[in-house]
Amino acid sequence: MKLLRQQRPWLTWRRAWPALIAATTLFIPLLMSQSAAVVQRGGSSAPRYEVSDLGPIPMLASDVVPGLNSLGDTVIWRQDESLAFAPILISGHQQMPLKIPQGYQNGFAYSLNNKRNAVGWANTTLNPVDSFSVTHAFLFAHDQASDLGTLGGRWSRAYAINNRDMIVGISELANEQQRAFWYVDGKMSPLAPLPGGQSSVAFAVNDKGTVAGGSEVAHTNSAKVVVHAVLWRNSVPTDMGVLQPSGNSVAHAINNHDEAVGTADGLAGKTVFLYRNGRMLDLGIQRGRAFAINDKQQIVGTQQVGEDRHPHSLGFLWDHGNFYDLSNCLPKGSPYQIQEAFRINDAGQILGTGVFADQLHALLLTPVN
């Protein structure tokens, strides 16, 4: 069975979220955007990593990514003989399938905390991109799978879990609008969009409970949907702003210092931003997308390079103004080409994907001291 690339549910928000993946943030008048130059792409001073190959991994959509915790444990997914997808927890040399709930065919887990509790979603048909399938957010905790339900609509997805077991994601409402949620003490609650907006999405949560994502905002042109990166503190949304007036932005990750990263509309197109101290900083990584930031302010993501007709992806590390192509940070003669970097923990370990023998593999990169 040939699987189509899965459309992100949040891309259907009145056609709002195509702009959102380009992700940019509207400009709050008091927030002045800044720019940080890309300094370096590798070389003798580049960090070095050893590679742990976690095996082949099929990629379905850019919002479905593997997970990494502070201990170096990971969650990925694999297909079985029936072509169903199942979540796998990898801890050291042990690989443990996570239980798929009864009545569901596929399961995906892509955020993992230090208790080895994972979150993601499961659906009821063999094809994970089937729009008629029932899709619910799930907590995968060792040998149990707990259905988190929805906010009254047909579907939900969980995108992140912190070390306090707070879970965030997105759910359809009864009126078919789509809303960010947080799940605490067994209850799913909506996170309000920014003023004037109707839809929102939550992609990340830190251990303090600060949530990052995106929200529709009011716009003078009623025919245009504008999305801004947003932080929720105690469920109250804060607009992070944008790099260009009338642009879009969305935050994909946040660390424990409330520093967030994401993608925004810049002067020359899509670019990566860092939000800290109430200001949005353009990192100058054109055609890039940041997926993660650790507490040391190291950022990882993916950049599209090459001609528009024949682009290819590279996984990058941004470390305080230095930009590194991760393929150049591997041992000499390494057979891997790093295409995407999805997670980085405070030990500097990076979880991503790379091409090996014309096949995509999940890879854990560990810094070499």
**pLDDT(2) > 70:** no
**What is the percentage of the chain residues whose pLDDT exceeds 90?**
73
Instruction: Tell me the pLDDT band of 222, cut-offs 50, 70 and 90.
Output: low
CA-to-CA distance for 158 and 110, rounded, in angstroms? Answer: 9
Query: What is residue 318's three-state secondary structure?
Result: strand
The pLDDT of 267-283, averaged and rounded, is 95
Res. 178: pLDDT tops 80: yes
E strand or H helix at 342: strand 337-344
- Beta bridge pairs of residue 117: 141
pTM over 0.85: yes
Residue spans of the domains in the chain: they are 9-26+62-297
How far is Cα 186 from Cα 180, in angstroms, rounded to an integer? 16
* pLDDT value at residue 58: 83
Query: Residue 287 pLDDT > 60, yes or no?
Result: yes
Q: Is 283 helix (H, G, I), strand (E, B) or coil?
A: coil
Q: What is the pLDDT of residue 282?
A: 97
Whether the pLDDT of residue 9 is over 70: the answer is: no
Q: Which residues of 328-359 are buried (b: 16+ CB within 10 A; e: fewer)?
A: bbbeeebebbbbbbbbbbeebbbbbbbbbeee
pLDDT for 127: 85
Measured in degrees and rounded to the nearest 5, phi and psi for residue 12 equal -90, -5
Mean pLDDT estimate for the chain: 87
The confidence score (pLDDT) of residue 223 equals 64
For 265-294, what is the mean pLDDT? 96
Structure tokens at 106: 């596929």
Mean pLDDT of 224-246: 94
pLDDT in tens, 99-140: 998 999 999 998 999 999 999 999 999 888 777 789 999 999
Q: Which one, of 254, 242, 245, lies nearest residue 282 by Cα?
A: 242
- What tens digit of pLDDT does each residue of 63-104 get? 678 999 999 999 999 988 888 999 999 999 999 999 998 999
Give pLDDT, residue 68.
98
Give the CATH class of 9-26+62-297.
mainly beta
Predicted confidence (pLDDT) per residue in 253-269, tens digit: 999 999 999 999 998 88
